[in-house]
């Protein structure tokens, strides 16, 4: 009875706080996961109808530039309407980023039993062109060769010839994999090689996605790099989660050396003045005590 009551309270809390259909995978309380799933089923009943808006632009993420490659599953299990949801998710992601030749560059690798690079990092440096290119992507159908897609991205999309910035520029390289199935090829070794080359991998699983495969592909910590949504109808809700992650910026404050020297000189002067005041106070106090002692001796 207590267990059921606890689950009910968790469900109510989650629904009240607006938790909707997305959560990072982690080894958590089974009852909390059940409550999240219940909250998701309530919100998934009537997903909003949306189409890809080529004109929309959200506030930008003005932070570190990225070489960002989306690797999207378009196998037969992804129905046409669901694939449109993936494209909306990509367009929403583009809207949140600061896109440009000197900012974030975006490429898309589409895969099923074969792999197709839809466009490269060097092809589009503004949001309207990127979103038009995304709108033209068509599903490939057939199998799910995720390992081949990752290998293709490393060898052909993340190269300087394809528009990736050289290592000396210290531009973050990020891959976001979106899949709803179990890979039909090996992903562990190719993912490890990609990560070893400096590529940060996020794995997004939808519906029937194989969780173990997602964890084998993703960078660590897994709780920050593996995500799951129950349906393609709510995948766009991950945009805010990625915005928080990809827009993080570590600010290093470098002070003007002249200001530092002036502050140090002021601190030294203040310290000297305090020492002088303290010494005068001590001398005055000692003199007073001596004078009182002399008076007492004189009376005696």
- The per-residue pLDDT for range 68-127, each reduced to its tens digit, is 999 999 999 899 899 999 999 999 999 999 999 999 999 999 999 999 999 999 999 999
Average pLDDT over residues 288-293: 67
pLDDT value at position 243? 86
Q: Are 24 and 215 in contact (CB under 8 A)?
A: no
Q: Cite the DSSP H helix spans in 112-237.
A: 127-135, 146-152, 188-196, 211-217, 222-225
- The per-residue pLDDT for range 9-25, each reduced to its tens digit, is 444 444 444 433 444 44
Average pLDDT over residues 207-222: 94
- The Cα-based distances of 66 to 43, 175, 247 in angstroms read 33, 10, 10
pTM of model > 0.75 = no
Architecture of domain 66-247: 3-Layer(aba) Sandwich (3.40)
pLDDT value at position 269? 72
- Rounded to an integer, what distance in angstroms lies between the CA atom of residue 150 and that of residue 193? 10
pLDDT value at position 237? 84
Q: So where are the chain's domains?
A: 66-247
pLDDT value at position 294? 64
H/E segment holding residue 294: helix 257-299
In this predicted model, which residue has the larger pLDDT, 227 or 233? 227
Average pLDDT over residues 178-207: 95
Q: Check residue 230 and report its DSSP letter.
A: S
Q: Are 54 and 131 in contact (CB under 8 A)?
A: yes
In this predicted model, which residue has the larger pLDDT, 20 or 246? 246
In this predicted model, which residue has the larger pLDDT, 35 or 54? 54
pLDDT value at position 263? 58
- Rounded to an integer, what distance in angstroms lies between the CA atom of residue 204 and that of residue 73? 10
* pLDDT > 90 in the chain, percent: 52
């Amino acid at each position: 009875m207590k267990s059921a009551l606890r689950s009910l309270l968790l469900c109510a809390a989650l629904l009240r706080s607006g938790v909707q259909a997305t959560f990072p995978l982690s080894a958590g309380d089974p009852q909390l996961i059940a409550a999240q799933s219940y909250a998701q089923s309530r919100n998934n009943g009537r997903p909003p109808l949306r189409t890809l808006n080529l004109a929309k632009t959200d506030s930008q993420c003005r932070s570190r530039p990225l070489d960002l490659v989306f690797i999207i599953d378009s196998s037969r299990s992804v129905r046409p309407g669901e694939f449109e949801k993936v494209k909306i998710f990509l367009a929403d992601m583009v809207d949140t980023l600061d896109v440009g030749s000197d900012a974030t560059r975006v490429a898309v690798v589409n895969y099923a039993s074969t792999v197709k690079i839809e466009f490269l990092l060097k092809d589009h440096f503004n949001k309207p062109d990127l979103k038009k290119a995304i709108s033209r992507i068509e599903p490939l159908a057939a199998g799910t060769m995720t390992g081949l897609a990752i290998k293709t991205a490393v060898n052909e999309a993340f190269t300087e010839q394809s528009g990736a910035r050289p290592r000396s520029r210290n531009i973050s390289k990020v891959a976001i994999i979106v899949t709803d199935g179990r890979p039909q090829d090996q992903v562990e070794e190719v993912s490890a090689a990609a990560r070893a080359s400096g590529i940060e991998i996020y794995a997004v699983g939808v519906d029937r996605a194989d969780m173990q495969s997602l964890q084998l592909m993703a960078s660590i910590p897994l709780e920050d790099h593996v995500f799951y949504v129950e349906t393609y109808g709510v995948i766009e809700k991950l945009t805010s989660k990625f915005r928080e992650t990809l827009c993080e910026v570590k600010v290093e404050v470098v002070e003007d050396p002249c200001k530092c020297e002036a502050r140090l000189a002021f601190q030294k002067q203040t310290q000297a003045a305090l020492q002088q005041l303290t010494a005068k106070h001590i001398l005055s106090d000692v003199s007073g005590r001596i004078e009182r002692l002399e008076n007492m001796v004189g009376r005696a």
